[in-house]
Structure 1
Amino acid sequence: MSASSSHLTFPRAQQAQIIRANQRDLFHVSSLKEQAESVLRAWLGTRRVQRLDKELDVFVKLLYFGLTTGRATQTLGEEYTDIWQYDSRSGSLPPRLSWRLSFIFLSICPPYLLAKLGNDRTFVARKPELASCIKNVASILRIASEVNLAIFYLKGSYYDPIKRLLGVQNLSSFPENPHSKPPSYAILGVMIGVRLIYRLVQSLKSQESQSRDVSVTLEAEGAYLDDKSIESVIAMQGVEDESVKRAEDDEGTALDVERIPPQLRQSRNCALCLEERTDSCVTECGHLFCWNCIVGWGREKPECPLCRQALSLAKLLPIHNL
């Protein structure tokens, strides 16, 4: 029996099946990434693993979807809900190799490249106009993804915008039950639509207020935290690509590190990277860390890694004498 005639006997996958399949895939990708991080942390150290977080995420997704979708087999999420991908335009089941590779590449690589270039301070400084354009493209893609999700909850065809672009849907091996009505997720689509409209209105209001404010106080007068400008402190947020700094080269301390006895220097180690602290800062709960380490940690988990108290990156306090 040909593929085009065989898939006609199978109903389209229901919304609940597609949603559960995607949630299951996200769970397995996250679990695989955590296991890879634990292995790399033992080899490279916490600080280096934090800098390679985006690359590790791309590698794990390429590995997961390459060994499943790339080989024309079900992902673990699709196997869990027993659904299959097929090309609704050509009727091929499974989709052609060219589609499978296109789906994997377009789903993973463009978001990574946009985020990488947008957070690269050297690239932003050299080509600010292009960097601004890249950030705008990334924002447009995020909005398009939310619009696609709203349409999916209303109509239930394409959960992923790349699949909508390529025309790939899902079939279910479970026969339809004429006596039961599948659950509706239309209310979620309406809520996402309302949120998008609200954000659009807020964005328009923000642009209008900025156009009225002819002079920006921060740029005109300058604002400083201790002896550092606010701009330089904010710029320190993009720490993923910075090289490891030696304690002797730390400009964020008033101490002469080289004259500190070795026994005391051991007590200055950061609990996250296990190396001597640089650009030391203190949390609200009183624990000391490297600025780069605690910022990287706080982006993933908003809690102190030692006492688990709530952590706010905006309330980190630079320390120059410890």
Structure 2
Amino acid sequence: MSEPGPEPRSAAPAVAARASMNYPFATSPDILRVHQKDAYISAQLSSEASNILRLLLGARFAHKYAGATSSLSELMYLCLTTLLGNRTLGEEYCDVIQVSSATTSLSLPNLLQRLSYIMSVTLTPWALAHTLPALRRRLRAKLEHSTARQRARLKPTEPASRGLRLQEYVLKHLDTLTSLSPIYAVSLIAFYFTGSYYHISKRLTSLRYIFTKRLGPHEQREGYEVLGVLLVLQILVQSVLHVRETIFAFRAVEPGATAPTAAIVGPGIELPVSVTGSDPTAVPAPKVLPPGLSSNTNTPILTEPRYELTNSSTLAFIGASADSPSEKEQQRKCTLCLEAYKDPSVTTCGHVFCWECVMDWVREKPECPLCRQSILPQKVLPLRG
């Protein structure tokens, strides 16, 4: 009987080679670091593109198309990296690579996956930002017309139907119901607990990150499960408060409900409500009030600028040091819109702009349009005569 031959020696090295190819998935801290690095690079590209547009086409054009410039800069950055199959600077910085998890065996994403991800992360937010406001306006107009027609048909003592109450509820909370913030919050909660997908676009296209090196025991990362728990608690508290407010509002309009003697209109603000005096709704007020101070105090909202410097007698001290009428007229113009000042406002560095022009600017980029000094929106002061 022949003796068995020696076992092949290539089996153990082959198993070890296969095991060495099982790279671990990137954890939450590394994914966030990738996102922050890429966001920083995109912001730098957007800033440089805005500077070029400002030099070639003027500050007004650059300010008007700041959002489009940012989206196109991010699109260009991803096309030069992800679309071509290269790693982004954030991925190289964190030693991770993007793979497709659509199948059981991980592989590099194909061209269709990469293109779908780029379109969804750049063009979809831009399209939603332009279509959602128009959709809200149309829905609001239809709901206002429907509720006004049903209210006109009701008798003074007849209670409102459930359908009418539902329409009024949707009308009151239309901005919240048509907002994408809850979807982003749920996606962020899932990321904090699982550490898989930070972007919704990556979740839709099944793109994940893996490390390009094996981690030692001392290199293991901690997750962000605590942040997920805190975010869940925040959403639960907000939901409970909203349900409570809605129930109280429905009970207040039920037949036989007693009229309140006081109303809380804001934190620490309580106003008496007269049940025998004149109708409080007789006071004219704007139909639409933004949340905040104006809605709490019923401050009237001006539809036109308070001060418009087309008249030379309005805020005459602006441009008073000019030597000629043409120079004075030039000093009373905003450098952003190139028109006469409308509600002129001064920044902390001393430059003057229109209120809406400078506020729109600092929301996009918190710096002075002229000297680039850092500016906070709350530090901009409107001038008064």
Length-normalised TM-score, structure 1: 0.73
Alpha-carbon distance between aligned partners in 1 of 2:283 and 2:374, rounded to the nearest angstrom: 40
CA RMSD of aligned residues (A): 4.1
Alpha-carbon distance between aligned partners in 2 of 1:148 and 1:205, rounded to the nearest angstrom: 26
Residue aligning to 1:191: 230
Alpha-carbon distance between aligned partners in 1 of 2:113 and 2:141, rounded to the nearest angstrom: 34
State which of 191, 195, 211 in structure 2 corresponds to 1:172: 211
Deviation at 1:22, TM superposition (A): 1.0
Q: Give the secondary-structure state (helix, strand or coil) at the position aligned to 1:278.
A: coil
Residue aligning to 1:232: 303
Whether the 8 Å contact between 1:88 and 1:169 is mirrored in structure 2 is yes
Change (3 A) 1:218 1:80: farther
State which of 260, 273, 277 in structure 1 corresponds to 2:336: 273
Q: Does 1:65 align with 2:131?
A: no
With CA pairs under 8 Å and 6+ residues apart, which has the higher RCO, 1 or 2? 1
Alpha-carbon distance between aligned partners in 1 of 2:360 and 2:63, rounded to the nearest angstrom: 7
Deviation at 1:298, TM superposition (A): 3.2
Residue aligning to 1:247: none
Whether the 8 Å contact between 2:136 and 2:175 is mirrored in structure 1 is no
Letter in 1 for 2:186: V
Letter in 2 for 1:255: N
Alpha-carbon distance between aligned partners in 2 of 1:162 and 1:72, rounded to the nearest angstrom: 17
State which of 87, 90, 93 in structure 1 corresponds to 2:100: 87
Deviation at 1:24, TM superposition (A): 0.7
Residue deviations 1:203-258 (CA, integer Å, cap 9, x gap):
445656766888x9799612599xxx61636xx9xxxxxxxxxxxxx99346169x
Deviation at 1:291, TM superposition (A): 2.9
Unaligned runs of 5+ in 2: 1-17, 144-170, 254-264, 266-279, 295-299, 314-323
Alpha-carbon distance between aligned partners in 1 of 2:141 and 2:113, rounded to the nearest angstrom: 34
Deviation at 1:62, TM superposition (A): 0.8
Residue deviations 1:43-76 (CA, integer Å, cap 9, x gap):
1222221110111111011101111111111111
Alpha-carbon distance between aligned partners in 1 of 2:251 and 2:86, rounded to the nearest angstrom: 56
Deviation at 1:312, TM superposition (A): 2.7
Change (3 A) 1:170 1:110: same
Deviation at 1:26, TM superposition (A): 0.7
Change (3 A) 1:197 1:108: farther
State which of 113, 127, 130 in structure 2 corresponds to 1:116: 130
Whether the 8 Å contact between 2:359 and 2:377 is mirrored in structure 1 is no
Q: Give the secondary-structure state (helix, strand or coil) at the position aligned to 2:303.
A: helix
Whether the 8 Å contact between 2:308 and 2:340 is mirrored in structure 1 is no
Letter in 2 for 1:38: N
Q: Give the secondary-structure state (helix, strand or coil) at the position aligned to 2:113.
A: helix
Change (3 A) 1:146 1:105: same
Task: Write the mapping of 1:138-153 to structure 2, written as runs, cut at 5 A.
Answer: 139=179, 141-153=180-192
Whether the 8 Å contact between 1:10 and 1:172 is mirrored in structure 2 is yes
Structure having the higher helix fraction is 1
Whether the 8 Å contact between 2:81 and 2:87 is mirrored in structure 1 is yes
Residue deviations 1:111-131 (CA, integer Å, cap 9, x gap):
2122223456xx866664599
Q: Does 1:312 align with 2:375?
A: no
Bigger radius of gyration among the two: 2
State which of 347, 350, 353 in structure 2 corresponds to 1:289: 353
